[in-house]
């Protein structure tokens, strides 16, 4: 099958193409060089006046694993708000803020997203996360394994284990859980909460182990660097949501000691204590630190007004916030001496000072961080808002007058205490393409994704060029998944299943001896059942793995 | 399906027959199936024995043997003409449930598990309030006080004692410092032998008193003026002692098996225990650990939840999912003639048979299942973890254990047969 | 105009727009309802010094109260809604909430809502209970003799304050007797109260004073002992003057009450020493309502 | 058969109502094939149906009058905010759940969770008047938040379970464990229930003025008085397992 896309205006920042009218060719599942003149074209799409980009990549969205299922269970009364009827072979679904898997895949694809990453995959829950993502059609997926609150690692660090041993354990975890990266959530804090500690700042000492979050951050960021894992340590920093936490965030950046580190949903970590309400924006301080340190990347975790549900591994902070639950019910879970999970439904209100300022802080961060290659468009779905609000968010970034109209509607004191009105920046289509395609692919080491050069996987999106970016990004004209048209005019027309993206750094298998002993003594399952094989991924779970290379290993 | 080497001589079998999903079992095969099982577990032994000894009589139509082809054709006809198919039983593995859901979505079916009554006693508490919960490893390594409500956990989950309550080793909570408190009608029941030496604290209380005991504890721990004496002398003293222990514990765990709470509206009682654990977290740590997962109930519920957005007792009749744990109880749908076809899926236990009823019925059954009343179509399917690989959820809803294949006797998985039906139904 | 030998002066009473509310206080018996009502409307003679003006409008029997117990109907008048609200809260809290066996209800349904139990409920310290019956909400506030039942809101609406007439008589005793007669007649009327002690005021006032701090001072033109010293309005044989001030929930009610009162006075006639009926005004510039005596009695 | 979810049913013409699509199993058919509809818009609409499976009748009803001659299924008048809904026979579970206004009169018996909270909802009935001439099932008034429920017959177990506020009156015999986890609100009983949770305390005998008001309100809605005259009642307070600010009033 040879497909020609002619005359579209292409935005492909990974290849330095910023709005060039050009032809693209797809052969089977990949983009290819223009064929010989005499080769017949099977399908031809004339795209004059249309915008063409690679399929969008969401590098931080909670779409798989136990906590999403818990959210679905906790909120049966919220689910009917969005019901998706069955249509032919397309499955039915429900749920606007915690959608069912099929509804998630369809809706993402309808918006031009072709790859999504679950950022908090508990290794012990990896099978479920991969199963849910396998049942999320049209998307390639992957996960970041949660480490840094597992008692095994904390004990290793506390004992002063060699970095090499840590590296082996990290690499083993990536292999066992079939993940592409490693995330740490409130380093040490989830574990500390199990010991009844209610707060743990970057340099506080854990109640059981003589180590601090800083030690965990340093050890893990170093491990990933030395293992050559492309995606840097993905960090949900200490003190989420606490006024004054920007200092913890700056300390977290510092703890990486210059090695690459990704700070996620940083909006929730950019709060000061100024003003009458002791709650203020520190977006400027955070953005300045990001601009200054090239080793740091962030995603924003923008909030949007309305009902949503917060799902997080950070039981310490979720428990602390349970009083804000709306509706008033919530759930926390301590999980397998490995991590935890807290689910607290939430309604952000534009007339509430704190919520309104959170909204402004997120936008300030987008606009104040200079390099679009290091700031990513997320709502931390569903924590800040459901992913379905992305087109609206894109409009907020691209259209200053629209942004100011929205600003005028929020709590007046919040508007007044934000710099947002003075920020003139408007994102260009090229910058949107960077932050939603090229940059995430690069940060994850997915060389064949997120761009449109010959050889790339043919995940691509054709947009109508509308005056209103929200309409443009809400209903693309065409979405191709691996060379097949799966959505037209914002409606799914075909369903294909995705793959699971992983990295697989090498490690000394000697670590498994130690792990086997640990599992036998303390765990409730055996080591051999912990890890997931490639065959199990492909045949049992239903999502074959795509392995991305790691950089050549550097040794300490 | 991914494969494992079919062999009985495996060192670490995973057991699909209870919600603890122990994966450290080894079978010593004998002349008549199993010589012995190590570590000892009557439930696992019985499950493996019945699975291995079962001699399938092949597909049947109204009791008469038919070819698989005929059985499938008849099933397709029944599904095509059904106006209100009911998919019940659902004792299967993850892929069996995935195929069931796809078929139910296609046919417009309603879904319920044979353990639905027990399961929804817990799920309703989560739906209405949420809770603070933990998993088996957390309880094993951290709990310094475990309150066990009811006397039947030990029959339903035989290795609960050595895997969670009194493990050989524990990271943070050595056996010596642990308090086990057992609430239930123990006067009329004998403590499990494994616990006798440990001498746990027992509180003798009939199930009808459990709500009052929980309420009294909540009131006492909240310093509200109540008279525990109303519970009666010995129980009142025990409750006062338990209140003190709960207040002083670093990490308490409250556990029960909802299947034991067979009285109506038992979710109200569970809600009280969950609220007690939640209250305790204001000053210390406490979690609930509901025991479930037998007959694959957690498994099918988890898959249903992610695929439809709702737990089981969800209807796909309207073209989109609608959930109602009271209206879509399979027993009621049969009794009030709201269903017109029963698809009964039960691959783990030959005794988990479809209910006696007048509905046309298709059974995807354990190969050893003998029906008292013959049904339109009986399709024997393999036992997950014996005849084919698969996945089963553990009680705590977090861990999905891979199930290996032990033998090859040509029995298809439920998933395989259901997918065949799907293909034949067309669009 | 002369009635029964009493001269009706050709003048008018000048009255003001006020804001009023009606409350119903019930209790175990009439005695305690009356005590609560009197206490609530005690020290409520004039807005000049009391914040509000108030009085018992009527005594209610069991059939006419919301809870089927004996009660009283109370009217309170303030110069503004906010002052009225503050005074109501203070008086309901200090005089009714505190009084044994009472309950407190709104006596009107139209007008702007005015918080009643809405604020008083906090006395319940979290143990108060809300009950909604139809579109009305009530608060049950635990107190030492049981529960204080209190409606969440009453209403306020525009009303008239300061209707008045002056009774000029030969002696102090004759003026007083005549005014008592008038008060007894007015008391039977709905929608009005006479806020001064016993319904009667002797300290008629004028605007201003030689002392800077005072807004009002004695009306020297009607003081018999100042005759000869100031420009008097009294003839030589007038021994005493007393005034009746009437507040009402509408202009008609106030006028009717003035007429009723004046007629009662005139019944005594000149034979009982009554000489003249006059009225207080400020030249017609301050108050919206003018009650011309002769028009009222025509 | 379910759900019967027309919006503003009472303001529709009978012909329009008969044309509403209902689900029966995995197919759909017009309502008129299942039952007869008569009446006029703005006036009283009468549905002749005798199915105990027709759910959600009068769901979301905001005004008008709707009469069901026969019985009704579950969730009768769910989310109703105004108007008058009358059922001649019995109804299923959750009658009046999420109701916020208007009046429902059930001449027969009601099922479990009368005025109760549906799955996941933090509140049951939120306002209005719900009157059952027959008996009610278990958990009447579960998580009720406001409004008045009167059951002239008996009530099952756990009446007023998890009640948040509001008033539930049971004139017949109430079952076991009345008021379990009641946070606030009033459960008014004509006679001793079968049992109360151990976490209710006696607060003694009282004469409560508000009961007179309640009686008058009931009288104006053609419902019998809670207690005759100004009777002395025995008051229990609880449930002290939770908030403990609820009350159970029992005629002494």
- Whether D18 contacts D27, CB under 8 Å: no
CB–CB of C149 and D213 under 8 A? yes
Touching subunits of A (3+ CB pairs, under 8 Å) are B, D
A151: chain B residues, CB-CB within 8 Å: 141, 171
Domain count, chain C: 2
Q: Is residue C32 located within the same domain as residue C150?
A: yes
Cα–Cα distances in angstroms (integers) from residue C75 to residues B117, C14, C21, C154, C195, in the given order: 62, 20, 6, 12, 10
Relative orientation angle of helices A283-292 and A246-255, to the nearest 10 degrees: 10
Q: Please tell me which of the candidates B132, B310, B397 has its beta carbon nearest to residue A94.
A: B310
User: Is the pLDDT at A555 greater than 70, yes or no?
Assistant: no
Pair B43, B152: CB distance under 8 Å: no
Q: How many CA atoms lie within 13 A of A474 on its CB side?
A: 12
Report the length, in residues, of chain D: 252
Q: Which one of D53, D93, D120 has the shortest CB-CB distance to B336? A: D53
More confident residue, B41 or A555: B41
d(CA D114, CA D103): 14
Could you tell me how many CB contacts below 8 A there are between chain A and chain D?
14
- Rounded to whole angstroms, the maximal C-alpha distance in chain C is 66
**Interchain contact A/D (3 or more Cβ pairs less than 8 Å):** yes
- pLDDT confidence bin for D229, thresholds 50/70/90: low
Taking the Cβ of residue D119 and every Cβ of chain A, the question of whether any pair is shorter than 8 Å is answered with: yes
Picking from A225, A206, A232, A229, the residue whose alpha carbon sits closest to that of residue A153 is A206
Cα separation of A308 and A327, whole Å? 10
Q: Do C132 and C187 share a structural domain?
A: no
Same domain for C181 and C107: no
Q: What is the pLDDT of residue B3?
A: 78
Q: Is D1 part of any domain?
A: no
The reported pLDDT for the residue numbered B8 is 79
Distance from CA of A536 to the nearest CA of B (A): 5
DSSP letter, residue C74: E
Average pLDDT of chain C, as a whole number: 95
Q: Are residues D120 and A328, on separate chains, in Cβ contact within 8 Å?
A: no
Q: Which of C46, C52, D243, A524 is nearest to B23 (CA)?
A: A524
Residue C88 sits in the same domain as residue C59: yes
D68 backbone dihedrals φ, ψ, rounded to 5°:
-105, 115
Among the candidates C157, C189, C206, a domain finishes at: C157
Residue C113 in 3-state DSSP?
strand
Instruction: Mark yes or no for CB contact A529/B323 under 8 Å.
Output: no
| CATH (domain of C60) | 3.30.70.520
The Cα–Cα gap between D153 and D175 comes to 12
Interface test with D, best of A70, A75, A77, A328 (most D CBs within 10 A): A77
| Nearest-by-CA chain D residue for C127 | D245
Shared-domain flag, residues C214 and C252: yes
pLDDT per position as a tens digit, A329-357: 999 999 999 999 999 999 999 999 999 99
Domains and CATH numbers, chain B: 60-115+295-395+408-425 (3.40.50.1220), 119-292 (3.40.228.10)
Dihedral angle sign, alpha carbons of residues D194, D200, D204, D210? negative
pLDDT at residue D2 tops 70: no
Specify whether C184 is located in the same domain as C102: no
* CA–CA distance, A494 with A138 (Å, rounded to integer): 9
Identify the closest residue of chain B to A65 by CA–CA distance. B398
Closest-CA residue in chain D for B317?
D26
Per-residue confidence band for B1, with pLDDT thresholds at 50, 70 and 90: low
CA angle D21, D27, D33 (to 5 degrees): 50
Residues of A in contact with D121 (CB under 8 A): 77
Per-residue pLDDT of A102-134, as tens digits, reads 999 999 999 999 999 999 999 999 999 999 999
How confident is residue D14, by pLDDT bands cut at 50, 70 and 90? confident
Kindly state the percentage of chain C with pLDDT values over 70. Answer: 100
The answer to whether B319 contacts A523, with C-beta atoms less than 8 Å apart, is no
Q: Which residues of D touch C (CB under 8 A)?
A: 127, 146-148, 165-167, 184, 186, 206-210, 212-214, 216-217, 220, 230, 245, 247
Across chain A, mean pLDDT equals 96
Question: Which DSSP helix (H) or strand (E) runs through B299?
Answer: helix B297-308
Q: Calculate what percentage of chain A has a pLDDT beyond 70.
A: 99
The distance between the two most distant Cα atoms of chain A, rounded to a whole number of Å, is 73
Please give, rounded to a whole number of angstroms, the shortest distance from the CA of D30 to a CA of chain A: 20
b (16+ CB within 10 A) / e for D87-100: bbbbbbbbbbbbbb
How would you write A482-530 as a 3-class SS string? CCEEEEECCEECCCCCCCEEEECCCCCCCHHHHHHHHHHHHCCCCHHHH
CA distance linking residue A269 with residue A246, whole number of Å: 6
| Closest chain D CA to residue C126 | D245
- Reported for A103-108, long-range contacts at CB under 8 A and 24+ positions apart, including other chains, are A103/B309, A104/A63, A104/A136, A104/A139, A105/A136, A105/A137, A105/A138, A105/A139, A105/A495, A106/A137, A106/A138, A106/A492, A106/A495, A107/A387, A107/A388, A108/A58, A108/A136, A108/A138, A108/A139, A108/A387
C130 lies in the same domain as C191: no
Q: What is the mean pLDDT of residues A517-537?
A: 95
- Say yes or no for a CB contact (<8 Å) between D207 and C130: no
How many angstroms separate the Cα of D195 from the Cα of each of B226, B230, D157? 17, 13, 9
Report whether pLDDT(C270) > 80. Answer: yes
Q: Please report how many Cα atoms fall inside a 13 Å half-sphere around the Cα of residue D139, on the Cβ side.
A: 22
Based on its alpha-carbon atoms, the radius of gyration of chain D, rounded to whole angstroms, reads 18
Give one DSSP letter per residue of A109-144, joined into a string: HHTTEEEEEEEEE-GGGHHHHHHHHHTSTT-EEEEE
* Other CB atoms within 10 A of residue D251 CB: 16
Distance in Å, alpha carbon of A92 to nearest chain D alpha carbon: 14
Residue B109 has a CB neighbour count (10 Å cut-off) of 26
From the list A94, A93, A101, A102, the residue with the least C-alpha distance to A77 is A94
Length of chain A: 556
| Block residue for tokens 């939120």 | D126
Q: What CATH number does residue D206 fall under? A: 2.160.20
Instruction: For residue D39, give the 3-state DSSP assignment.
Output: strand
Question: What range defines the domain where residue A178 resides?
Answer: 54-444+455-492
In contact, C149 and C120? CB cutoff 8 Å: no
In this complex, the residue of D94, D181, D240 whose CB is nearest that of residue B268 is: D181
d(CA A147, CA A131): 21
Q: Residue A213: in which H helix or E strand, if any? A: helix A213-227
User: Among residues C61, C67, C76, which one has the least CA distance to residue C101?
Assistant: C67
Decide: helix, strand or coil at residue A212: coil
Task: Say which of D206, D209, D214 has its CB closest to residue C133.
Answer: D214
B408 pLDDT band, cuts 50/70/90, is very high
Inter-axis angle of helices B266-280 and B116-128, to 10 degrees? 40
Domain match, C150 and C251 both:
no
Largest CA distance in chain D: 59
Instruction: Work out the minimum CA distance from B76 to partner chain A, whole angstroms.
Output: 17
Q: Compute the CA torsion angle D40, D45, D50, D54 (nearest 10 deg).
A: 110
Backbone angles phi, psi at A54, to 5 degrees: -65, 160
**Cα D77 from chain centroid?**
9
**Least CB–CB distance from A93: residue in B3, B308, B389:** B308
- Which sign does the torsion angle of CA C210, C214, C215, C220 carry? negative
CA distance B245 to B255: 16
Reduced 3-state DSSP string for A240-272: CCCCCCHHHHHHHHHHCCCCCEEECCHHHHCEE
Contact yes or no for A250/A238 (Cβ under 8 A): no
Residues C147 and C208 in one domain: no
Quick one: average pLDDT of A415-431?
Answer: 95
CB burial class (10 A; 0-12, 13-18, 19+) of residue D204? exposed
Q: Over pLDDT 90: what percentage of chain D? A: 71
Distance from CA of A218 to the nearest CA of B (A): 25
CA distance linking residue A389 with residue D81, whole number of Å: 32
Scanning C148-177 for CB atoms below 8 A from D yields 149
Residue B288 has what DSSP assignment? E
Query: Using CA atoms, how far apart are residues A164 and D194, in angstroms rounded to an integer?
Result: 69
Question: pLDDT value at position A556?
Answer: 45
What pLDDT score does A81 carry? Answer: 87
User: Which residue range forms the structural domain that includes residue D239?
Assistant: 9-251
Pairwise CB contact (< 8 Å): B135 & A334? yes
Identify all chain B residues contacting A135, using CB atoms and an 8 Å cutoff.
Answer: 98, 306-307
- Residue D4 banded pLDDT, cuts 50, 70, 90: low
Boundary residue ending a domain (C157, C172, C198): C157
Bridge partners, B343 (sequence order): B87, B362
pLDDT at C244: 97
Q: Scan for tokens 């006809």, then name that residue.
A: B77
- Touch test D–C: 3 Cβ pairs or more under 8 Å: yes
Stretch A450-456: mean pLDDT, rounded? Answer: 98
- Cβ distance A200 to A238 under 8 Å? yes
pLDDT-above-70 percentage for chain B: 99
Residue ending a domain, among C141, C157, C173, is C157
pLDDT at D5 (0 to 100): 47
Q: What is the pLDDT of residue B198?
A: 84
Q: Is residue A440 included in any domain, yes or no?
A: yes
- The pair phi, psi for residue A247, each rounded to 5°, is -70, -40
Under DSSP, the state recorded for D248 is E
Say if the Cβ atoms of D186 and C129 lie within 8 Å. yes
Is residue A520 assigned to a domain?
no
What is the model's pLDDT at position D163? 98
**Total residue count of chain B as it appears in this document:** 427
H-helix or E-strand spanning residue B195: helix B193-196
Instruction: Pick the range with the lowest mean pLDDT from C123-137, C245-259, D48-62.
Output: D48-62
* Contact between residue C29 and residue C85 where contact means Cβ atoms under 8 Å apart: no
Closest chain D residue to A71, measured at CA: D120
- What integer pLDDT is reported at residue A552 of this predicted model? 73
Band (B28; pLDDT cuts 50, 70, 90): confident
Parent domain of C194: 2-14+159-297
Structurally, how many domains does chain D consist of? 1
Instruction: Name which of A374-378, B317-321, D58-62 the model is least confident about.
Output: D58-62
Whether chain D has a CB inside 8 Å of the CB on A327: the answer is yes
The domain total for chain A is 1
Tell me: do C40 and C93 sit in the same domain: yes
Identify all chain B residues contacting D2, using CB atoms and an 8 Å cutoff: 327
């Amino acid at each position: 099958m040879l497909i020609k896309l002619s005359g579209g205006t292409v935005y492909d920042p990974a290849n330095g193409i910023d709005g060039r009218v050009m032809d693209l060719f797809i052969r089977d599942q990949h983009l290819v060089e223009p064929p010989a003149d005499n080769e017949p074209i099977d399908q031809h799409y004339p795209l004059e006046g249309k915008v063409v980009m690679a399929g969008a990549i969401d590098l931080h969205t909670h779409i798989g694993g136990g906590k999403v299922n818990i959210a679905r269970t906790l909120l049966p009364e919220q689910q009917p708000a969005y019901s998706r009827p069955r249509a032919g072979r397309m499955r039915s679904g429900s749920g606007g803020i915690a959608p069912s898997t099929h509804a998630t895949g369809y809706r993402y694809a309808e918006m031009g997203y072709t790859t999504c990453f679950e950022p908090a995959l508990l290794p012990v829950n990896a099978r479920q996360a991969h199963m849910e993502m396998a049942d999320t059609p049209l998307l390639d997926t992957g996960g970041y394994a949660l480490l840094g609150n597992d008692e095994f690692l904390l004990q290793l660090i506390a004992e002063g284990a060699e970095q090499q041993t840590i590296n082996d354990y990290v690499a083993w975890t990536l292999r066992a859980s079939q993940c592409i990266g490693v995330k740490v959530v409130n380093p040490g804090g989830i574990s500390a909460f199990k010991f009844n500690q209610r707060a743990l700042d970057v340099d506080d000492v854990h109640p059981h182990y003589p180590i601090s979050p800083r030690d965990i951050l340093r050890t893990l960021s170093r491990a990933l660097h030395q293992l050559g894992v492309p995606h840097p340590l993905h960090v949900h920093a200490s003190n989420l949501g606490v006024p004054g936490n920007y200092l913890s965030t700056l300390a977290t950046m510092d703890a990486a000691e210059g090695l690459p580190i990704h700070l996620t949903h940083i909006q929730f970590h950019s709060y000061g204590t100024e003003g009458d309400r002791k709650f203020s924006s520190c977006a400027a301080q955070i953005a300045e630190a990001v601009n200054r340190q090239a080793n740091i990347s962030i995603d924003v975790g923008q909030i949007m007004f309305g009902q949503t549900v917060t799902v997080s591994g950070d039981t310490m902070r979720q428990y602390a916030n349970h009083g804000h639950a709306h509706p008033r019910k919530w759930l926390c879970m301590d999980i397998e001496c490995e991590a935890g999970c807290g689910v607290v439904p939430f309604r952000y209100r534009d007339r509430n000072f704190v919520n309104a300022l959170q909204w402004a802080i997120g936008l300030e961060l987008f606009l104040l961080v200079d390099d679009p290659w290091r700031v990513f468009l997320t709502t931390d779905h569903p924590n800040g808002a459901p992913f379905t609000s992305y087109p609206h968010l894109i409009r907020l970034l691209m259209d200053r007058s629209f942004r100011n109209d929205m600003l005028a509607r929020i709590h007046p004191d919040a508007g007044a205490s934000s710099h947002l009105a003075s920020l003139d920046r408007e994102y260009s289509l090229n910058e949107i393409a960077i932050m939603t395609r090229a940059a995430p692919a690069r940060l994850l080491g997915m060389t064949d994704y997120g761009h449109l050069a010959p050889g790339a996987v043919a995940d691509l999106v054709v947009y109508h060029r509308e005056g209103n970016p929200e309409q443009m990004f809400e209903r693309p004209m065409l979405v191709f998944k691996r060379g097949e048209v799966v959505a037209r005019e914002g409606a799914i027309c075909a369903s294909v299943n995705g793959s699971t993206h992983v990295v697989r750094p090498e490690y000394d298998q000697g670590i498994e001896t130690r792990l086997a002993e640990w599992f036998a003594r303390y765990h409730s399952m055996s080591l051999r059942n912990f890890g997931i094989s490639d065959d199990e991924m492909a045949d049992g779970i239903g999502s074959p793995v795509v392995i991305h290379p790691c950089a050549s290993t550097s040794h300490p | 399906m991914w494969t494992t080497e079919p062999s009985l001589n495996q060192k670490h079998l995973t057991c699909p027959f209870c919600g603890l999903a122990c994966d450290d079992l080894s079978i010593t095969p004998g002349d008549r199936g199993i010589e012995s099982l190590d570590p000892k577990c009557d439930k696992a032994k019985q499950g493996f024995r019945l699975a291995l000894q079962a001699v399938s009589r092949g597909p049947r139509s109204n009791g008469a043997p038919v070819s698989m082809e005929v059985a499938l054709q008849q099933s397709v006809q029944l599904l095509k003409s059904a106006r209100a198919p009911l998919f019940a039983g659902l004792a299967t593995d993850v892929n069996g449930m995935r195929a069931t859901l796809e078929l139910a979505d296609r046919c417009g079916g309603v879904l319920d598990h044979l353990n639905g009554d027990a399961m929804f006693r817990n799920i309703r508490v989560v739906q209405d309030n949420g809770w603070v919960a933990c998993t088996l490893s957390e309880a094993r390594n951290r709990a310094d006080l475990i309150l066990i409500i009811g006397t039947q956990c030990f029959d339903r989950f035989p290795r609960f004692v050595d895997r969670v309550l009194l493990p050989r080793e524990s990271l943070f909570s050595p056996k010596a410092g642990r308090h086990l408190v057992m609430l239930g009608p123990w006067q009329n029941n004998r403590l499990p032998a494994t616990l006798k030496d440990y001498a746990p604290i027992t509180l003798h209380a009939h199930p009808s008193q459990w709500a009052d005991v929980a309420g009294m504890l909540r009131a006492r721990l909240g310093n509200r003026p109540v008279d525990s004496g109303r519970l009666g002398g010995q129980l009142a003293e025990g409750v006062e002692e338990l209140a003190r222990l709960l207040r002083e514990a670093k990490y308490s765990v409250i556990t029960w098996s909802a299947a034991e709470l067979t009285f109506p509206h038992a979710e109200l009682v569970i809600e009280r225990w969950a609220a007690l654990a939640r209250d305790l977290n204001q000053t210390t740590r406490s979690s609930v650990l509901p025991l479930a997962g037998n007959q694959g109930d957690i498994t099918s519920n988890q898959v249903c939840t992610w695929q439809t957005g709702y737990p089981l007792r969800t209807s796909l009749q309207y073209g989109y999912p609608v959930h109602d744990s009271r209206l879509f109880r399979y027993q009621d749908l049969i009794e009030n003639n709201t269903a017109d076809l029963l698809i009964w899926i039960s691959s783990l236990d030959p005794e988990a048979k479809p209910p006696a009823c007048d509905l046309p019925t298709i059974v995807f059954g354990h190969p050893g299942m003998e029906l008292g009343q013959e049904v339109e179509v009986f399709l024997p399917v393999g036992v997950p973890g014996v005849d084919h690989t698969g996945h089963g959820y553990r009680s705590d809803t977090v861990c999905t254990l891979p199930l290996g294949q032990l033998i090859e006797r040509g029995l298809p998985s439920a998933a395989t047969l259901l997918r065949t039906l799907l293909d034949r139904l067309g669009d | 105009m002369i009635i029964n030998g009493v001269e009706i002066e050709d003048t008018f009473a000048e009255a003001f727009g006020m804001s009023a509310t009606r409350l119903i206080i019930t209790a175990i018996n009439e005695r305690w309802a009356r005590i609560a009502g009197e206490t609530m409307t005690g020290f409520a003679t004039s807005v000049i010094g009391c914040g509000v003006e108030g009085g018992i409008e009527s005594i209610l029997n069991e059939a006419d109260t919301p809870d089927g117990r004996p009660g009283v109907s109370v009217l309170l008048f303030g110069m503004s809604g906010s002052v009225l609200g503050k005074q109501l809260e203070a008086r309901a809290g200090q005089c009714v909430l505190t009084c044994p066996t009472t309950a407190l209800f709104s006596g009107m349904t139209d007008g702007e809502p005015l918080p009643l139990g809405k604020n008083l409920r906090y006395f319940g310290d979290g143990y108060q209970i809300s009950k909604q019956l139809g579109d009305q909400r009530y608060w049950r506030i635990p107190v030492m003799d049981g529960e204080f039942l209190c409606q969440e809101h009453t209403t306020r609406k525009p009303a008239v304050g300061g209707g008045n007439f002056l009774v000029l008589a030969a002696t102090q005793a004759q003026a007083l007797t005549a005014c008592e007669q008038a008060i007894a007649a007015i008391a039977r009327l709905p929608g009005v109260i006479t806020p001064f002690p016993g319904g009667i005021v002797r300290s008629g006032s004028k605007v201003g004073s030689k002392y800077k701090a005072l807004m009002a001072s004695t009306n020297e033109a009607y003081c018999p002992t100042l005759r000869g010293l100031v420009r008097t309005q009294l003839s030589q044989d007038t021994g005493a003057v007393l005034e009746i001030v009437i507040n009402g929930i509408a202009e008609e009610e106030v006028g009717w009450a003035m007429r009723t009162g004046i007629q009662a006075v005139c019944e005594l006639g000149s034979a009982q020493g009554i000489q003249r009926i006059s009225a207080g005004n400020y030249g017609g510039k301050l108050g919206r309502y003018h009650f011309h005596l002769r028009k009222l009695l025509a | 058969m379910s759900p019967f979810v027309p919006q503003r049913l009472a303001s529709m013409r009978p012909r329009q109502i008969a044309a509403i699509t209902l689900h029966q199993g995995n197919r759909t058919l017009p309502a008129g094939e299942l039952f007869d509809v008569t009446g006029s818009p703005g006036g009283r609409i009468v549905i002749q149906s005798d199915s105990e499976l027709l759910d959600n009748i009068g769901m979301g009803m905001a005004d008008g009058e709707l009469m069901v001659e026969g019985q009704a299924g579950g969730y009768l008048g769910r989310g109703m905010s105004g108007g008058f809904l009358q059922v001649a026979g019995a109804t299923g579970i959750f009658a009046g759940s999420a109701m916020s206004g208007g009046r429902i009169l059930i001449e027969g018996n009601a099922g479990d969770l009368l005025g109760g909270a549906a799955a996941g909802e933090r509140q049951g009935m939120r306002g209005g008047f719900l009157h059952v001439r027959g008996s009610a099932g278990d958990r009447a008034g579960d998580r009720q938040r406001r409004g008045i429920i009167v059951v002239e017959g008996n009530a099952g177990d756990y009446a007023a379970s998890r009640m948040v506020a509001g008033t539930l009156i049971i004139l017949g015999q109430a079952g076991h464990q009345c008021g379990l986890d009641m946070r606030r609100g009033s459960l008014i009983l004509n006679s001793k229930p079968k049992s109360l949770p151990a976490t209710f305390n006696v607060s003694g005998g009282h004469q409560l003025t508000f009961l007179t008001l309640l009686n008058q309100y009931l009288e104006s809605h053609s419902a019998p008085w809670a207690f005759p005259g100004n009777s002395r009642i025995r008051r229990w307070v609880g449930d002290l397992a939770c908030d403990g600010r609820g009350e159970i009033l029992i005629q002494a």
